[in-house]
Amino acid sequence: MVALESTLRILSLGAGGFIGSHLASHLLARGHTVTGVDIHSDKIGELLEHPGFTFVRQDIRDTGFEVERLVAEADVVIDLIAYANPGLYLRQPLDVFHLNFTENMKIAEACVARGRRLVQFSSCEVYGKTVARAAPGKLIDPEDPALATFREDETDFILGPVSKHRWIYASAKQLLERVLHAYGLEGRLDYTIVRPFNFIGPKIDYLPSDTPGFPRVFPHFMEACLKGTQMKLVDGGRNRRCYTDIEDAAACIGLIVENPGGVCARQIFNVGSPKNEVSIRGLAELMRDLYATKLARPGARLPSIVDVPAREFYGPGYDDSDRRIPDISKARTLLGWEPRYDLRETLERTMRHYLAANGS
């Protein structure tokens, strides 16, 4: 590991979530100090006594939130604040827009006012659909991976119509990116944008039965394994994703925060693992196989895999990205980063974490 030239005072907004908790642990291990802001602390319990970590239990939407003071006290601001769940995009689209754009803009403007560097989390959702999905039946080889490989500074964004309001999240993130870029053009903000590609690992989410809400795919499948119920595949689970181990992701984002030689200034980075592409159906089958062969108690009932229409599972207004493969040439070239973990070992480690957490 490269030695640090200096340590940083880091303000991490959304530090109590899945990504934020792992990133805070990584940055503290690197010798930095972290002030973490969130409304929950259950995923960072082991950090609350760390001498380099300060926790502020606060909702950034509260009128008393002193964003400029906290920004002024930091060298780098990490903004992880987001609603990132397809169920929310459909059921609470205005809340999704206001948190992901309006509230995030307040953080960006505080960084502009105080002259602080901002590491802004966006989403691979901004890329939308592939050309193959947008022009069905018109391509010679719609399975060509090149058609689904997204490059930060080159790839056009292809989103669905307004009636498919599932895209409000991607639109809010895309608009935020464009405003940060405009501030950069005027020389008023030093920023780096991170586009995560399906991070996965311990603490990724609560199981659906543990908390009300809208489960994402891993906790939904994990609970089905634990209870021997149904793994529901929306529209047959044909869409594909590239899953990225959270340890790989934290290592890359840590380099982005440290910004060696200033190479991350006003850059956008895909953070993902191109080799770990799998369909949602393939993910369900792999998780069920791992559970059956390595994790289940003898005689445990295995989950069934069933297809459900998107409208039945999510409701009206649903649409989705069909395939998204990150081009990570920039992270490789500028940061010397390469993902290490394959999907099978990441899933097994993550599933073991959930088994232990649930006493299974």
Which positions are annotated as active-site residues? 169
Q: Could you tell me where the beta strands, DSSP code E, fall in the chain?
A: 9-13, 33-38, 53-57, 76-79, 117-121, 149-150, 191-196, 199-200, 230-234, 240-242, 244-245, 267-271, 277-279, 304-308, 325-326
CA angle 161, 166, 168 (to 5 degrees): 80
Task: Please report the sign of the dihedral spanned by the C-alpha atoms of residue 221, residue 222, residue 227, residue 228.
Answer: positive
**Within 13 A of 205's CA, how many CA atoms are on the CB side?**
22
Structure tokens at 316: 């009206």
Determine the Cα–Cα distance for residues 238 and 279; give it in Å rounded to an integer: 6
Neighbours of 114 (CB within 10 A): 16
Helix (H, G, I), strand (E, B) or coil at 59: coil
Neighbours of 170 (CB within 10 A): 22
Distance of alpha carbon 99 from the chain centroid: 16
The answer to whether 111 and 182 are in contact (CB under 8 A) is: no
The answer to whether 326 and 242 are in contact (CB under 8 A) is: yes
Task: Please report the sign of the dihedral spanned by the C-alpha atoms of residue 301, residue 198, residue 128, residue 163.
Answer: positive
